[in-house]
């Protein structure tokens, strides 16, 4: 979209991204922007903005001039988050975001910028409504993105829309209160995704799980009135002979800590302890649209961790599906107990790689905060691929060690292994525990305890690491991209994303 096209765009809100390399032309708009910059009213640092209302130079009702810094994907994302956050407070339904003034974009990947814009626009406008009696849904209904070459970015745009669908589905299920996201409901959500997408989905209940001898998983679930569910999703986009990638999601739909009861403060946030499971569901929702040529298995162990009279007790010894016995020193270290049986189950698929995703340890939050997810891996090639995917998706992770010395704290006098190893290096000892059950395939563990949700005024799920996982899976395959629809000649815009309320 040219600058002239921006000026004549009829919309509720027009966002002009302006980089630090901006050089004014002779047109009125460029001269106006240059004047605002020189006067100090517009800074070009990423996210800084100047708002205009019914300005005579523009057809749009509201115009937001927003700095995009050096115009890399991260700073463009920051700029769009800021601009859409401003628009979200109003009544705008149609928005145009233009690259017309984004000098310096040629030095970056235009496709990466498109993905950053679409993802940021969706993130900033997202609204949760499911359990509100008087829902105030997302007002912004459509975003048109103006780019210099539509055909060059169609695949990236399609990928971005698919990612948004997955991220928002993950947010939806993670944000729901535990009584609206039980293991049974989570299984029904997986079946619904599979049905509309042509996937396979098997749901195992308590009897089937008992027949598999998943003793660790069953032990965690037995304190709850809600029956456990073990969910098996299959996306088969590759050749029959291709080894699948297996994604394993922790699905503790509410975590009281069990008998090792958590403090009451902020315990409501333990509805987010199934964010790993939600991210696996989100990835499958995205796969339905991206259709990469790869085989993917999704495994979700879903249950509650509750403290009734039948609940697991500190000091109990349970037998996992692998046959290894586990001394449970702390019932609040339950995620690794359900994951270890899921990892053993994954062996039957003879996987190319297994990646488990879990809100596993507070220690990882202390180590990495909410910026990067913790990454542990037994295979350097797998670790490198996940790290690269995290960077490309702006969903970064950081690799942490798996030295064998860390396993010393997991020794037990009464079982093969203890489920906790003390406070020091807690994220690592949790990973070392899981590694015992992942020796038969390349394995990685993503600890998303710090990145899966936000607390405070912005409380809510982030949808991470759907972006990282989707980019990783796509990188492992060649894409099957549907033939894109051509834009109408009467509207020289790049591409359009409809932002409907979350489903």
Q: At what angle do helices 275-290 and 150-175 cross, to 10 degrees?
A: 150
Spatial contact of 430 and 447, defined as CB atoms under 8 Å apart:
yes
Q: Considering the candidates 77, 94, 115, 336, report the single residue annotated as catalytic.
A: 336
Using a 10 angstrom Cβ sphere, with 0-12 exposed, 13-18 middle and 19 or more buried, the burial of residue 362 is middle
Nearest C-alpha neighbor of 383 from the set 391, 121, 63: 391
What gap in Å lies between CA 65 and CA 83, rounded to an integer? 8
Residues contacting 372, CB < 8 A, separation 6+: 390, 396, 397, 398, 450, 451
| Catalytic-residue membership of 262 | yes
Spatial contact of 121 and 82, defined as CB atoms under 8 Å apart:
no
Nearest C-alpha neighbor of 190 from the set 126, 277, 271, 131: 277
Report CA Rg, the chain: 24
Kindly provide the residue ranges of all beta strands, DSSP E only, lying in 19-132, ordered along the sequence: 49-53, 62-67, 94-98
Torsion sign across C-alpha atoms 392, 379, 294, 434: negative
Q: Considering the candidates 141, 234, 262, 440, report the single residue annotated as catalytic.
A: 262
Residues contacting 147, CB < 8 A, separation 6+: 1, 99, 110, 114, 153, 494, 495
What gap in Å lies between CA 459 and CA 462, rounded to an integer? 9
Nearest C-alpha neighbor of 1 from the set 135, 170, 150, 109: 150
- Give residue 114's Cα distance to chain centre: 18
What gap in Å lies between CA 473 and CA 287, rounded to an integer? 9
Torsion sign across C-alpha atoms 320, 322, 325, 329: negative
Cα three-residue angle 200-205-206, rounded to 5 degrees: 155
- Strand order across the 495-498 sheet: 49-53, 62-67, 13-18, 94-98, 142-146, 495-498
Strand partners, 49: 66
Residues carrying an active site annotation:
262, 336
């Amino acid at each position: 979209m040219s600058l002239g096209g921006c000026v004549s765009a009829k919309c509720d809100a027009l966002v002009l991204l302006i980089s630090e390399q901006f050089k004014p032309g002779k047109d009125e708009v460029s001269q106006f922007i240059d004047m605002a910059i020189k006067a100090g009213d517009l800074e070009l640092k990423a996210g800084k903005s100047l708002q205009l209302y019914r300005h005579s130079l523009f057809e749009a009702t509201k115009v937001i001039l927003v700095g995009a810094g050096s115009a890399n994907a991260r700073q463009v994302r920051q700029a769009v988050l800021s601009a859409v956050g401003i628009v979200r407070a109003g009544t705008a339904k149609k928005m145009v975001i233009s690259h017309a003034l984004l000098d310096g974009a040629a030095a970056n990947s235009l496709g990466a910028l498109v993905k950053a814009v679409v993802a940021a626009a969706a993130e900033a406008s997202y609204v949760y409504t499911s359990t509100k009696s008087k829902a105030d849904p997302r007002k912004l209904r459509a975003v048109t993105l103006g780019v210099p070459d539509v055909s060059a970015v169609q695949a990236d745009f399609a990928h971005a829309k698919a990612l948004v669908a997955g991220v928002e589905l993950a947010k939806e299920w993670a944000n729901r209160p535990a009584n609206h996201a039980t293991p049974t409901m989570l299984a029904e959500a997986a079946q619904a995704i599979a049905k509309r997408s042509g996937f396979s989905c098997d749901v195992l209940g308590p009897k089937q799980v008992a027949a598999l001898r998943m003793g660790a998983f069953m032990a965690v679930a037995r304190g709850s009135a809600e029956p456990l569910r073990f969910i098996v999703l299959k996306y088969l986009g590759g050749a029959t002979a291709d080894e699948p990638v297996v994604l394993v999601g922790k699905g503790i739909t509410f975590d009281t800590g069990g008998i090792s009861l958590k403090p009451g403060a902020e315990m409501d946030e333990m509805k987010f302890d199934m964010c790993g499971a939600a991210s696996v569901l989100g990835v499958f929702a995205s796969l339905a649209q991206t259709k990469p040529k790869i085989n993917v298995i999704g495994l979700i162990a879903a249950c509650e961790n509750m403290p009734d009279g039948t609940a697991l007790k500190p000091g109990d010894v349970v037998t996992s599906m692998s046959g290894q016995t586990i001394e449970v020193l702390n019932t609040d270290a339950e995620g690794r107990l359900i994951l270890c049986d899921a990892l053993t189950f994954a062996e039957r698929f003879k996987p190319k790689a297994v990646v488990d995703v879990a809100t596993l340890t507070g220690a990882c939050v202390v180590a990495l905060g909410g910026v990067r997810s913790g990454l542990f891996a037994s295979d350097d090639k797998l670790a490198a691929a996940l790290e690269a995917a995290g960077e490309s998706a702006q969903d970064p992770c950081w690799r942490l060690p798996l030295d064998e010395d860390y396993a010393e704290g997991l020794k037990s006098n009464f079982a093969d292994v203890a489920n906790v190893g003390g406070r020091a290096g807690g994220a690592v000892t949790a990973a070392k525990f899981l590694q015992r059950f992942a020796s038969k395939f390349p394995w990685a563990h993503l600890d998303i305890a710090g990145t899966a949700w936000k607390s405070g005024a912005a409380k809510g799920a982030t949808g991470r690491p759907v972006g990282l996982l989707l980019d990783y899976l796509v990188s492992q395959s060649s894409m099957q991209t549907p033939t894109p629809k051509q834009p109408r000649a009467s509207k020289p815009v790049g591409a359009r994303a409809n932002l409907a309320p979350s489903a």
